[in-house]
């Protein structure tokens, strides 16, 4: 046998470490993490906030630099800068993310899931340890390429440093993320918000609600089974918008909308337009039974918190009802009052936040029982000071990808 054909079989844990050792270490970190989750972890997720997260980040980067600069020849550091260590950590992170997609991230009835923390993967010790290994690989590789800088590696550096910043900022920023809600009533200034644990938080500014406005769709007509109270099937057409002058058909019934009032009050046997608190929509309808040509005329209403609903019983089996109007849009006309005496006016709508002093202010909810007559607006305030750093990391990755594409295209042409 020639020397070229002779192959020496490498023993486990022999230098250099490969994929087998890498996955062995990774699974060891998973087991350690699940052990910590079962016997050490508390109900409160582990987070660090300002200024300790800044100190941790700076210290972590300094330690990575020292490890590469003076300990790069050791077996462990050499392994962390190689492909097997990165690939194994990526595979295991992906595995945990898949588990997160399969198992609902809410309290579970299964003790097994609760004890292993599989219902809160992102704060699970196993996940944190694997991600920490991946970040260490990423940081050491980035430092290696930076210290051995070449323009041909510029895109690689942008990609890896950008990913490192985005991941580290996303994890360390959890402790500084602030999500609050505040109830604001018309004509009253409000500055005391509450967090997820119902703790009170005093804001550095106040809200003053000038007006809360709800726009609604027209209510709908429905045929209801008198025995079950459920909406009857009508060949897939069992709900119709209430529009004046329209005629609809429910089985053998012909229903015509004679008159529709968006805000009405009953006077005697009729409804008239009124503009009072709790005045519901109402409609005058004519129902014709096409089997026996009998005709009924009546007013129906969806009702409100103040007035009961009114329906029309058209047979022993069915009644015609008007559903509660669905909300099309709701918004708050508010003033933001600062301690310096400023007064900033804005209109908040759903999914259209207003940015102020590091907060994103969202229109969240209202008093649903009162409906469009609600004088309460519930706002949500979100403050994430690490978000710009995450964006910087993402833009660096995009720039690195563009640079690598440009260089690769240039090399191909040459």
3-state secondary structure the chain: CCCCCCCCCCCCCCCCCCHHHHHHHHHHHHHHHHHHHHHCCCCCCCCCCCCHHHHHHHHHHHHHHHHHHHHCCCHHHHHHCCHHHHHHHHHHHHHHHHHHHHCCCCCCCCHHHHHHCCCCHHHCHHHHHHHHHHHHHHHHHHHHHHHCCCHHHHHHHHHHHHHHHHHHHHHHHHHCCEEEEEEEEECCEEEEEECCCCCEEEEEEEEEEEEEEEEECCCEEEEEECCCCCECCCCCCCEEECCCCCEEEECCEEEEEEEEECCEEEECCEEEECCCCCCCCEEEEEEEECCCCCEEEEEEECCCCCCCCECEECCCCEEEEECCCCEEEEEEEEEEEECCCCEEEEEEECCECEEECCEEEEEEEECCCCHHHCCEEEEEEEECCCHHHHHHHHHHHHHHHHHHHHHHHHHHHC
Give the burial class of 285: count Cβ atoms within 10 A of its Cβ; 0-12 exposed, 13-18 middle, 19 or more buried: buried
Length of the chain: 414
pLDDT on residue 3: 46
Confidence band of 410 (pLDDT split at 50, 70, 90): low
Sign of CA dihedral 258, 259, 264, 266: negative
Sign of CA dihedral 279, 284, 290, 291: positive
- Residue 3 corresponds to which tokens in the numbers above? 């020397």
pLDDT on residue 10: 67
Residue 35 has pLDDT above 60, yes or no: yes
Confidence band of 2 (pLDDT split at 50, 70, 90): very low
Mean pLDDT, residues 142-164 taken together: 91
- Residue 303 corresponds to which tokens in the numbers above? 């009702």
52-62 per-position pLDDT tens digit: 999 999 999 99
pLDDT on residue 45: 67
Q: What is the b/e burial string over 223-237, where b = at least 16 CB atoms within 10 angstroms of the residue's CB?
A: bbeeeeeeebebeee
d(CA 78, CA 13): 13
Q: How far, in whole angstroms, is CA 19 from its chain's centroid?
A: 37
Residue 44 has pLDDT above 70, yes or no: no
The angle at the Cα of 44, spanning 42 to 48, to the nearest 5 degrees, equals 110
Residue 183 has pLDDT above 90, yes or no: yes
Among residues 92, 89, 69, 93, which one has the least CA distance to residue 80?
89
Its pTM stands at: 0.78
pLDDT on residue 409: 67
* Strand partners for 347: 333
Mean pLDDT, residues 252-266 taken together: 93
367-396 per-position pLDDT tens digit: 998 989 999 999 999 999 999 999 999 999
Where are the domains positioned within the chain?
Answer: 19-148, 178-215+328-383, 218-325
List, as own/partner pairs, every contact residues 247-254 make where C-beta atoms lie below 8 angstroms and the sequence separation is at least 24, other chains included.
Answer: 248/221, 250/223, 250/318, 250/320, 251/223, 251/318, 252/289, 252/290, 252/291, 253/223, 253/287, 253/288, 253/289, 253/290, 253/314, 253/318, 253/320, 254/287, 254/288, 254/290
Instruction: Classify domain 178-215+328-383 at the CATH topology level.
Output: Tick-borne Encephalitis virus Glycoprotein; domain 1 (2.60.98)
């Amino acid at each position: 046998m020639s020397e070229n054909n002779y192959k020496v079989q490498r023993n486990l844990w022999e230098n250099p470490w490969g994929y087998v050792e890498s996955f062995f270490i990774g699974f060891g970190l998973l087991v350690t993490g699940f052990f910590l989750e079962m016997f050490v972890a508390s109900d409160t997720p582990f987070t660090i906030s300002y200024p300790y997260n800044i100190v941790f980040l700076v210290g972590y980067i300094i330690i990575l630099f020292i490890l590469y600069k003076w300990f790069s020849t050791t077996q462990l550091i050499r392994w962390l800068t190689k492909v097997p260590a990165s690939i194994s950590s990526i595979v295991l992170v992906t595995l945990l993310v898949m588990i997160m997609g399969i198992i609902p991230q809410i309290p579970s009835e299964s003790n097994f899931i609760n004890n292993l923390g599989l219902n809160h993967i992102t704060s699970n010790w196993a996940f944190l340890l694997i991600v920490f290994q991946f970040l260490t690989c990423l940081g050491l590789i980035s430092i290696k390429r930076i210290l051995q800088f070449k323009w041909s590696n510029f895109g690689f550096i942008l990609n890896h440093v950008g990913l490192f910043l985005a991941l580290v900022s996303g994890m360390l920023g959890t402790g500084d993320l602030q999500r609050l809600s505040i109830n604001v009533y018309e004509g009253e200034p409000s500055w005391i918000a509450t967090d997820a644990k119902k703790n009170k938080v005093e804001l550095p500014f106040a809200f003053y609600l000038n007006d809360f406005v709800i726009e609604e769709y027209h209510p709908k007509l429905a045929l209801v089974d008198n025995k079950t109270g459920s909406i009857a099937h009508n060949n897939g057409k069992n709900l119709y918008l209430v529009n004046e002058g329209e005629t609809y058909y429910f089985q053998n019934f012909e229903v015509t909308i004679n008159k529709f009032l968006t805000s009405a009050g009953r006077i005697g046997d009729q409804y008239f337009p009124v503009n009072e608190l709790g005045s519901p929509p109402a409609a005058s309808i004519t129902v014709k039974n096409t089997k026996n040509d009998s005709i009924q005329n009546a007013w129906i209403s969806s009702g409100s918190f103040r007035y009961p609903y009114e329906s029309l019983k058209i047979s022993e089996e069915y009644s015609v009802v008007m559903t509660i109007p669905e909300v099309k849009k709701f918004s708050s006309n508010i003033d933001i009052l600062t301690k310096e005496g400023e007064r900033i006016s804005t209109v908040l709508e759903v999914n259209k936040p207003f940015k102020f002093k590091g907060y994103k202010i969202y229109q969240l909810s209202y008093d649903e029982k009162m409906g469009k007559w609600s004088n309460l607006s519930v706002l949500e305030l979100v403050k994430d000071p690490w978000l710009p750093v995450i964006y910087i990391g993402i833009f660096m990755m995009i720039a690195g990808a563009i640079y690598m594409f440009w260089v690769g295209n240039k090399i191909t042409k040459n």
